[in-house]
Structure 1
Amino acid sequence: MDIQANSSQTIHTQFINMIIPQFSKPSKQTTAALALLLPVAVQGQSFTTNHTSQTSTGFAPCDSLIAANLSSIVHLPSSPLYSTLVAGSWAKDTQRAPWCFVTPCNTDEVSKTVVALKDAGNGAGDWHIAIRSGGHGGGSQNSIEQGVIVDLSRMNDTTFDAQTEVASVGSGARWGEVYAELEKFGVGVTGGREAIVGVGGLILGGGLSWYTAREGFACDNVVNFEVVLANGEIVNANATDNSDLFRALKGGSSNFGIVTKFDLKTFPADKLSIDQRTISSEHAGGLIDAIADFTDLDQTFHDNAMIAMMMYNPQQNATIITVKEINTMGKVNSTVFDAINRIPTLAPAKKQTVTLADSAKSAALEANTRNVGVGPLVIANDPQVMRYCVEQHEKLIEDLKKVLGPNEFATIQDFQPFPSYFADIGVQKGGNMLGLERSSRNKIMTISGVILLTPNSEKQYPQVYQRLSAMTESIKAFAKSVGSDEELIYLPYANPMQDAIGSYGPANVEHIRKVAEKFDPSGFFQHRVPGGFKISRVN
Structure 2
Amino acid sequence: MVRLSTVALGLLYGLSNILGVVADSATLTDPAIDGPVGLGYAGINMTALLAAAENELGVNGTVTDNLPDDNYGAPGTTISARDLQKLQELRKRTYGRGIFGAIACLSLKILFPSKTATTGSSNYNQWNNPSFWSATTYMAPTCVFRPTSVDDISCAMKLITLSQADFNVVGGGHSAIKGWANTEDGVLIILSGLTGVKVKPGYAEVSTGERWGNVFTVLDQNKLMALGGRMSTVGVPGLVLGGGVSYLTNQLGFVADQVKNFQVVLANGWVVNANANANADLFRALKGGSSNFGIVTRVDLYTWPCPRGVYSGQLYFSDTRDYPKMFDAVYKYHTVGALADTQTHLISAFVYVSIPGVGGMHMGAFTAFRNISGSEVNPGPGPALQEIVDLNPTTKNTSTLQVRPYGTQAIELGAGDMNGLRQDMRDFSVYADNQLYKDLFQLWNETMIPKHGSKAGFMGTIAFQPITTKAVAAGTARGGNSLGLEGNTKTMAIINLTHQWGSAADDAAIIASLDEVLAKSIALAKARNLYHPYFYLNYARKQDNPIGSYGTASVNRLKAASNFYDPCKIFQCRVPGGFKIPGMSSC
TM-score category, normalised to shorter length: 0.7 to 0.9
Residues in 2 aligned to 1:94 and 1:474: alpha-carbon distance in whole angstroms: 27
Matches within 5 A, 1:14-93: 45-46=4-5, 47-51=8-12, 53=52, 55-56=56-57, 59-66=102-109, 69-86=111-128, 87-93=130-136
1:429 is aligned to 478
> Using a 3 Å threshold, how does the CA distance of structure 1 residues 344 and 146 change in structure 2: closer, same or farther?
same
Residues in 1 aligned to 2:181 and 2:197: alpha-carbon distance in whole angstroms: 22
Shift of 1:341: 2.8
Q: Which amino acid aligns with 1:129?
A: F
Match of 1:385 among 410, 431, 436: 436
Extract unaligned runs of 5+ from structure 2: 13-47, 59-98, 374-378
Residues in 1 aligned to 2:393 and 2:577: alpha-carbon distance in whole angstroms: 43
Shift of 1:406: 5.5
> Using a 3 Å threshold, how does the CA distance of structure 1 residues 352 and 50 change in structure 2: closer, same or farther?
same
Residues in 2 aligned to 1:332 and 1:461: alpha-carbon distance in whole angstroms: 43
2:213 is aligned to 176
Q: Give the SS at the match of 1:411.
A: strand
Residues in 2 aligned to 1:476 and 1:538: alpha-carbon distance in whole angstroms: 27
Larger Rg: 1 or 2? 2
Residues in 2 aligned to 1:230 and 1:486: alpha-carbon distance in whole angstroms: 35
> Using a 3 Å threshold, how does the CA distance of structure 1 residues 227 and 338 change in structure 2: closer, same or farther?
same
How big is each residue's C-alpha offset from its partner over 1:89-128, in whole Å with a ceiling of 9 and x where there is no partner?
A: 11111122211011111111111111101111xx3xxx62
Task: Kindly report structure 1 stretches of 4+ aligned residues shifted beyond 3 Å.
Answer: 42-47, 51-58, 404-408, 536-539
Shift of 1:299: 3.9
Contact 2:134 2:423 (C-alpha < 8 Å) held by counterparts: yes
Matches within 5 A, 1:356-505: 356-364=406-414, 365-373=417-425, 375-401=426-452, 405=454, 409-453=458-502, 457-505=503-551
Q: Give the SS at the match of 1:200.
A: helix
Shift of 1:159: 0.5
> Using a 3 Å threshold, how does the CA distance of structure 1 residues 322 and 536 change in structure 2: closer, same or farther?
closer
Q: Which amino acid aligns with 2:369?
A: I
Shift of 1:345: 5.7
Shift of 1:482: 0.4
Extract unaligned runs of 5+ from structure 1: 1-41
Shift of 1:43: 7.5
2:316 is aligned to 278
How big is each residue's C-alpha offset from its partner over 1:323-360, in whole Å with a ceiling of 9 and x where there is no partner?
A: 22111227323221232233226652422222123222
Q: Which amino acid aligns with 2:506?
A: Q
Shift of 1:131: 0.6
Larger RCO (alpha carbons 8 Å, 6+ apart): 1
How big is each residue's C-alpha offset from its partner over 1:134-159, in whole Å with a ceiling of 9 and x where there is no partner?
A: 11123322111222110111111110
Alignment size in residue pairs: 484
How big is each residue's C-alpha offset from its partner over 1:488-522, in whole Å with a ceiling of 9 and x where there is no partner?
A: 10011111111000000110000000100010000
TM value normalised by structure 2: 0.79
Residues in 2 aligned to 1:410 and 1:200: alpha-carbon distance in whole angstroms: 27
Residues in 1 aligned to 2:126 and 2:432: alpha-carbon distance in whole angstroms: 43
Shift of 1:537: 5.4
1:107 is aligned to 150
2:79 is aligned to none
Of 138-147 and 109-118, the range deviating more from structure 2: 138-147
> Using a 3 Å threshold, how does the CA distance of structure 1 residues 71 and 398 change in structure 2: closer, same or farther?
closer
Q: Give the SS at the match of 1:60.
A: helix
Q: Give the SS at the match of 2:475.
A: helix
Shift of 1:458: 1.0
Match of 1:332 among 366, 373, 380: 380
Give the superposed CA RMSD: 2.1
2:346 is aligned to 306
Q: Which amino acid aligns with 2:382?
A: S
Q: Give the SS at the match of 1:363.
A: helix
Shift of 1:538: 6.7
Q: Give the SS at the match of 1:141.
A: coil
Q: Give the SS at the match of 2:461.
A: strand
Q: Give the SS at the match of 2:369.
A: strand
Residues in 2 aligned to 1:119 and 1:44: alpha-carbon distance in whole angstroms: 23
How big is each residue's C-alpha offset from its partner over 1:263-303, in whole Å with a ceiling of 9 and x where there is no partner?
A: 11110124121243222222222111111111113644011
> Using a 3 Å threshold, how does the CA distance of structure 1 residues 79 and 229 change in structure 2: closer, same or farther?
same
Q: Which amino acid aligns with 2:429?
A: V
Residues in 2 aligned to 1:406 and 1:368: alpha-carbon distance in whole angstroms: 17
2:403 is aligned to 353
Contact 2:217 2:407 (C-alpha < 8 Å) held by counterparts: yes
Residues in 2 aligned to 1:231 and 1:397: alpha-carbon distance in whole angstroms: 47
- The answer to whether residue 278 in structure 2 is matched with residue 238 in structure 1 is no
1:133 is aligned to 171
Residues in 1 aligned to 2:150 and 2:168: alpha-carbon distance in whole angstroms: 17
Shift of 1:461: 0.2
Q: Which amino acid aligns with 1:359?
A: Q
Shift of 1:177: 0.9
- The answer to whether residue 296 in structure 2 is matched with residue 296 in structure 1 is no
Residues in 2 aligned to 1:264 and 1:341: alpha-carbon distance in whole angstroms: 32
Contact 1:411 1:450 (C-alpha < 8 Å) held by counterparts: yes
Residues in 2 aligned to 1:94 and 1:407: alpha-carbon distance in whole angstroms: 20
Q: Which amino acid aligns with 2:524?
A: F
Contact 1:372 1:464 (C-alpha < 8 Å) held by counterparts: no
Match of 2:255 among 215, 218, 238: 218
1:6 is aligned to none
- The answer to whether residue 259 in structure 2 is matched with residue 250 in structure 1 is no
